Structure 1
Amino acid sequence: MKFSVSILLLFGMLGFVVACSDSTGVNGGDDANEEQEQEEESPFDGPEYADDYTPLSSWSNRSEWNLANVHDPTVIKDGEYYYMYQTNASYGNVHAGHGNYPYRRSKDLVNWEYQGAAFSEVQPWIKDTLNSMRAEMDPPLPPIEDPNYGFWAPHVTKINGRYRLYYSVVVTNPIVGSDPNTSWTERAFIGLAESSDLSSDNWEDKGMVISSVADGKETYDRQGSSDWSAYFKYNAIDPSYVVTPEGEHWLVYGSWHSGIAAVEVDPETGKPLKLNGLEDYGTRIAGRGNVNTNRWQGLEAPEIIYNEETGYYYLFLAYDELSVAYNTRVARSKNITGPYYGIDGKNVTEGAEAWPMITHPYAFDEHYGWVGFAHGSVFQDPDSGEWFYSSQARLPKNVGGITASNAVMMGHVRELYWTEDGWPVVAPERYAAVPNEPITEEEITGRWEEITLRYRYQQIQTSYEVLFNEDHTLGGALEGSWSFDESTQTLTVNDKELGVDYAWDWEDIPRKITITYAGLTPSGRSIWGKKTSD
């Protein structure tokens, strides 16, 4: 697999300095030369905000958050700004009482300004619709007068010149009684709001799009805390939206329960044409295991993008529990409803595990590492054509000196590369807008850290040392040889082809520019490398 030169000659020059526009100086003389030397010594001004943001986590410090307190982000560009919307989750629950679906904006994907929340109040249709559905059950159930809500995982898209914000609302009350061990909790809803200008924060609510749906195979009675045979077939959260080349519009949604569904919607309204029978709630396009025997499948956060260059739909999924084990998988298909296949050729629509895995809990040296690293938003810069992956990641549990460290949620924005055979790879380091220059073979030699993202449930993958010797042999944890093609910016390590890139070394103290590489093993395990010294 080879990486596209246009994608991989990305952002950076090792030891980048600001060059003088006129090497002779305007006035000549010592003052001009001294000024030139000072400019040449000016380093790249990369982000310096701390990964442990707990000293700034309070609501009163929100103007200083940058990407602190981000969870389940969705990103889109409107004019000169990128906008990022998210679920209500925050360290210390500081978002509570300040509206729903917080958002921020950025001109460069590096520096973000907290803006507030998309909605100030709970939409009244949610309670009304919930209780209407309860009244129609057999036997009818009484209304819930004061529902408990969760505001989760929005998705923003632009359709016909207007922005659509699909948002998830869960009702966490048990369907009957008050004990969640004896009754499944109530349904979730996906709603829709529209705006013509994101900077206005003026949304027109359009009401319900779809709700969780039962199929009659289970009752809402739950047989204790070990009963995970879900009552609802599809859980109506985690929406995403895709338009096919043929002009069809599809909503993709789902979390755990029986898997991921895709439902065609009316392009004008953004809603299904009807919701009369079970078939109107969509087609199952992905799951884990046998749908007939497994009603609690550890996957969620579906995000589908269509890549015109490859002709494939790519289904990004979050696997496992979100506090530690969360990891990102990918499958692809030539058809929006599948079947979706992994890099190993196995059918993810029928329940096979999806590969490749492009994020996983990990740690480079000199850092605690990141866990809970998934629920991605995949988006393309409309101007440059570059692809990005954004998600939350969390600090690990029990990091010394940080109260509830695993609740420290930081937004990550990373470049997304494409291999020659059409699979995505996430960058090893977060995006920092490092200036763009080609890399030379001489710069490859030296000491590196490498991580292979092998799947280990709730375990952090740590780095190992690799030496790239001048004679093109390898040392440290690897044996064999390496070569570098400067024309394609492709590094070959034994039989693996890796794309190289300048990047910001977030783990170093002080932070600085370095070189990274990224690629996939044939079985779909991501390989990340970072140069640490010459």
Structure 2
Amino acid sequence: MNAARPKHRKHLRTALTAAALAAALCGAGTLPGHAADRAARAPASAAAYPDPRPVTGDTEVHDPSAIRLADGSYVLYSTHNRIEARVSQDGRTWRRAGSAFTEIPDWWRAYSPEGDPWAPEVTYRDGVHWLYYAVSSFGSNHSAIGLATSPSGRPGTWQDRGVVFATTTSDHYNAIDPAVIQADGRVWMSFGSYWTGIRMIELDRRTGKPATADPEVLHLATRPDAPYAVEAPYIVRHGRHYYLFVSYDRCCAGTESTYNIRVGRSTSPTGPYYDRDGTAMTDGGGELLLAGHGRHIGTGGQSVLRDRGRDVLVYHYYDGQDGGRPKLGLNALTWGADGWPVVGP
């Protein structure tokens, strides 16, 4: 990865999507350096944001999702190359470990001529590792979310289970950027990018696919103005609230990126979600959690790793001191006295 890397395919899609939509829609036992909980609000200015933790090895990623395996090691999956895989013993030093898939499933070609999947989400439930991911043609909502399962969660062990949910060019939302949450015995999948924003359906706990043949598609968040730049949903529960994290604004333009992470909360996984000021996320609300600062430009594509009782914010940024290359960001995610998340070192 020493040569200059072209703009990532997923994010070429994002840029094209924006143009298309404007026209169409006029601690101990945790990853190293985990800070203690602190009762504080998010920084008031970009200069106050903490830098990501130091990481080494192969850390050039987009849309990272990580999980701690049974042996205590970590695996991280990211966009591109049949879902790129990286492993780490300590959460600090990462090495490339092939890809989730050894072969491209035939059905991918119907949505991506290149057979290039995006934005994986890796979870563990009921003795099984579940990997959700998106396949799409560029600049289009002719898109699909796929599913694979594995007993170990390790690269090369995944068995593809086919399409979970798909959209066509006649739909007003997009089936990419999946994320899954369990809540009171039920399983929900949020997804979406641009168009009318973030959506959600219920999944069958046993199969990991829609709970009904014609699932109700719920609406969680959108932006009020074209190009409706909100994507990459991720929901976690803390206390009595569910928190919806999203990425706002422009991704994947290197040092010109303006991606930033926003959050809202609800007492139900299905919403409605509001920011701290009470603005609904379906009305463009979203509490600013982390923005670009210093060399760390365009922070987003986030997920949350639950690691032995602690939360870690996992995301990518563009390195202003390394030609705008996308890099892995890891920060402690703690919770203030008011219940809102706080990014720490």
CA displacement at 1:149 relative to structure 2: 4.0
For the 8 Å contact 2:259–2:291, the answer to whether it is kept is: yes
CA deviation vs aligned residue, 1:283-310 (integer Å, no higher than 9, x gap): 1111112xxxx57411000000111xx2
CA deviation vs aligned residue, 1:36-83 (integer Å, no higher than 9, x gap): xxxxxxxxxx9585xxxxxxxxxxxxxxx332x111000111121111
Q: Does 1:287 align with 2:226?
A: no
Distance change in 2, residues 1:298/1:197 (3 Å): same
Moved over 6 A (4+): none
**Alignment-derived partner of residue 447 in structure 1:** none
Distance change in 2, residues 1:47/1:248 (3 Å): closer
Q: Does 1:87 align with 2:86?
A: no
For the 8 Å contact 2:100–2:155, the answer to whether it is kept is: no
How does the TM-score come out when normalised to structure 2? Answer: 0.79
Distance change in 2, residues 1:343/1:8 (3 Å): closer
Q: Does 1:7 align with 2:50?
A: no
CA displacement at 1:317 relative to structure 2: 0.4
Equivalent residue in structure 2 for 1:255, among 176, 193, 211: 193
Equivalent residue in structure 1 for 2:67, among 59, 64, 76: 76
**Alignment-derived partner of residue 393 in structure 1:** 317
1:91-490 correspondence runs (5 A): 99-127=81-109, 147-172=113-138, 185=140, 187-199=142-154, 201-213=156-168, 231-244=170-183, 246-276=184-214, 280=215, 282-289=217-224, 296-307=227-238, 310-322=239-251, 323=253, 324-349=257-282, 351-355=283-287, 357-363=288-294, 369-381=295-307, 383=308, 385-396=309-320, 405-406=323-324, 408-427=325-344, 429=345
CA displacement at 1:281 relative to structure 2: 5.3
- Between structure 1 and structure 2, the one with the greater Rg is 1
For the 8 Å contact 1:72–1:86, the answer to whether it is kept is: yes
CA distance in 1 between counterparts of 2:340 and 2:62 reads 25
CA displacement at 1:424 relative to structure 2: 0.6
SS of residue in 2 equivalent to 1:126: helix
For the 8 Å contact 1:233–1:295, the answer to whether it is kept is: no
CA distance in 2 between counterparts of 1:371 and 1:281 reads 37
- Larger relative contact order (C-alpha < 8 A, sep ≥ 6)? 2
Distance change in 2, residues 1:47/1:328 (3 Å): closer
CA distance in 2 between counterparts of 1:288 and 1:254 reads 12
Instruction: Return 5+ residue gaps in structure 1 as ranges.
Output: 10-45, 50-64, 89-98, 131-145, 173-183, 215-230, 364-368, 430-534
SS of residue in 2 equivalent to 1:378: strand
Distance change in 2, residues 1:281/1:257 (3 Å): farther
Q: Which residue identity is paired with 1:353?
A: G
CA displacement at 1:275 relative to structure 2: 4.5
Aligned residues: 293
Q: Which residue identity is paired with 2:146?
A: G
Q: Which residue identity is paired with 2:314?
A: S
**Alignment-derived partner of residue 50 in structure 2:** none
Q: Which residue identity is paired with 1:284?
A: H
SS of residue in 2 equivalent to 1:241: strand
SS of residue in 2 equivalent to 1:198: coil
CA distance in 1 between counterparts of 2:273 and 2:136 reads 28
CA distance in 2 between counterparts of 1:170 and 1:120 reads 19
CA displacement at 1:121 relative to structure 2: 2.6
Q: CA RMSD in A?
A: 2.3
CA distance in 2 between counterparts of 1:152 and 1:253 reads 12
SS of residue in 2 equivalent to 1:341: coil
CA displacement at 1:186 relative to structure 2: 5.8
For the 8 Å contact 1:265–1:273, the answer to whether it is kept is: yes
Q: Which residue identity is paired with 1:303?
A: Y
SS of residue in 2 equivalent to 1:125: helix
SS of residue in 2 equivalent to 1:7: coil
Q: Which residue identity is paired with 1:300?
A: E
CA distance in 1 between counterparts of 2:311 and 2:141 reads 37
For the 8 Å contact 2:85–2:155, the answer to whether it is kept is: no
The sequence identity of aligned pairs, in percent, is: 32
Instruction: Return 5+ residue gaps in structure 2 as ranges.
Output: 1-34, 40-52
Q: Which residue identity is paired with 2:158?
A: W
For the 8 Å contact 1:258–1:295, the answer to whether it is kept is: no
**Alignment-derived partner of residue 487 in structure 1:** none
CA deviation vs aligned residue, 1:20-50 (integer Å, no higher than 9, x gap): xxxxxxxxxxxxxxxxxxxxxxxxxx9585x
